[in-house]
Chain A
């Protein structure tokens, strides 16, 4: 079986940044798997997701469904659903929750094409599945942090992508919201989608198929069983 996400010796740097954010990273994730990226802040975890999304120039090989990202950015993005890191909408954000979720479908239509009503119904059904049906008409900025994360997850799912990239989905959430979101993520994997998530928490570590520890722009794949995050951290950071 071919990997759906693949990094081979990838180097990447942010414009104006002081040095490389990735230094020869390796990663292979297969269809239907849940992969986790862990490691200290600034280690390069988010950079890996941004390379897959074509947000950053890179050296080496980065492939999504066998397509080299730098040569097929638009095509690659069609296959990726994305929940960005620490994106919280302020209360005056001029957008309703259902509109934000429906945005995931915009790329499927040309400017002159009308968005069919079925697309909004589809967005509403995904929102409802994640328990946010009642908040569909609410301004996105007036939802709680956990609800906003779920709305972003719904947006990524509505897009119809085969691969979901989640950047710190549990950040700033209370334990109940984290449990809710963890269930939703495991549900996505159960439906056959591939998930790659950046995490700092143990919520879904035991359920993951693969995990990598990222440090100073390099990746180290962990062997199963993964054990506790604190032990991994102590072993790999040498403290």
Chain B
């Protein structure tokens, strides 16, 4: 039994850690379409792999990562914001995915390309764990080593550049890591719900702390708690893992929202004592 579920728990921890960490950057850069666009890019990559007779999960990962690596240069060349490019890539990659599937005769609905959309708890193997471990290590190393550069580039890109920080390269590297992180986590939670792993832990952290560095510390913890909670809930309640992770993440977010200092309303009665007066 443990041999069966251990890879899912380890993959869940790693996906939560990397998703929480990179989600802080995604939230700050307002890349709301990233989850969907990368999910569909991975789907197109998997379909391409099936059509060409290559391992679909490998082609899914490579296709999504390559597209993510190109986001920065495309944005700079075209002058379009990254979020707009993602909105264009979303239908394009979906269309490509369906095109490749049409070109591949006799493809069953249980094919790896299609299971990428909703994830599979039991489908997670040690290869997925190693891929996720690699992405998580690189993401952690990058954010830790370039902590000042990442922080400054996310606070204000132009000021960072003027201060002598290569903000352009830092942001391009973050786009790539985000794309790779999404592609690596899809096997577990599925493309349709990978969005929650990026944005909910980061949003939960932002409810409690304003400082970006503290968000980088807190969001991965929320990510791990949400993902492990979701994986556990999935086993316990026999729910699809993506659904369970989404429910657990929403629970963490609601808890943080309830405790958020941002919700505190100043007590006007204390600040302005005396009877309330209407206009004369």
Chain A residues at the B interface, C-beta cutoff of 8 Å: 15-16, 53, 55, 74, 77-78, 80, 82, 84, 87, 92-96, 99-100, 103-109, 111-112, 115, 139, 155, 159
Q: How far is the CA of A197 from the CA of B130 in the complex (A)?
A: 54
Question: Is B210 in contact with A107, judged by CB distance below 8 angstroms?
Answer: no
Given contacts A84-B158, A109-B148, contact A95 B212 (CB under 8 A): yes
In the assembly, what is the distance between CA of A94 and CA of B209, in Å?
8
For the A-B complex with A103-B160, A108-B164 known, give 17 more contacts whose Cβ atoms are closer than 8 Å: A15-B79, A53-B162, A74-B164, A80-B162, A92-B206, A94-B154, A94-B206, A94-B211, A100-B155, A100-B159, A103-B159, A106-B164, A106-B165, A107-B165, A111-B149, A139-B210, A155-B159
A82 to B156, CA, bound (A): 13
* Chain A residue contacts of B161, Cβ below 8 A: 55, 77
Interface size class of B (residues with CB under 8 A): 20 to 34
- Residues of chain B with a CB closer than 8 A to A100's CB: 155, 159
Decide if A103 touches B152 in the complex (CB within 8 Å).
yes
| Chain A residue contacts of B148, Cβ below 8 A | 106, 109, 111, 115
> For residue B165, which residues in chain A have a CB less than 8 angstroms away from its CB?
106-107
A100 to B155, CA, bound (A): 9
Instruction: Please give, as numbers and ranges, the residues of chain B lying within 8 Å of A92 by CB-CB distance.
Output: 206, 210
Flag whether B235 is at the interface (Cβ < 8 A). no
Among residues of B, the one whose C-beta sits closest to the C-beta of A74 is: B164
A104, B210: Cβ atoms closer than 8 Å: no
B158 and A159 within 8 A (CB): no
Q: Once the chains are docked, how many angstroms separate the CA of A108 from the CA of B152?
A: 14
A15, A95, A107, A109: the one contacting B155 at CB < 8 Å is A95
A-B pairs, 5 with minimum CB distance: A107-B164, A94-B212, A107-B163, A82-B162, A16-B79
Cα(A159)–Cα(B162), bound, Å:
10
For residue A112, which residues in chain B have a CB less than 8 angstroms away from its CB?
145
| B212 nearest CB neighbor, chain A only | A94
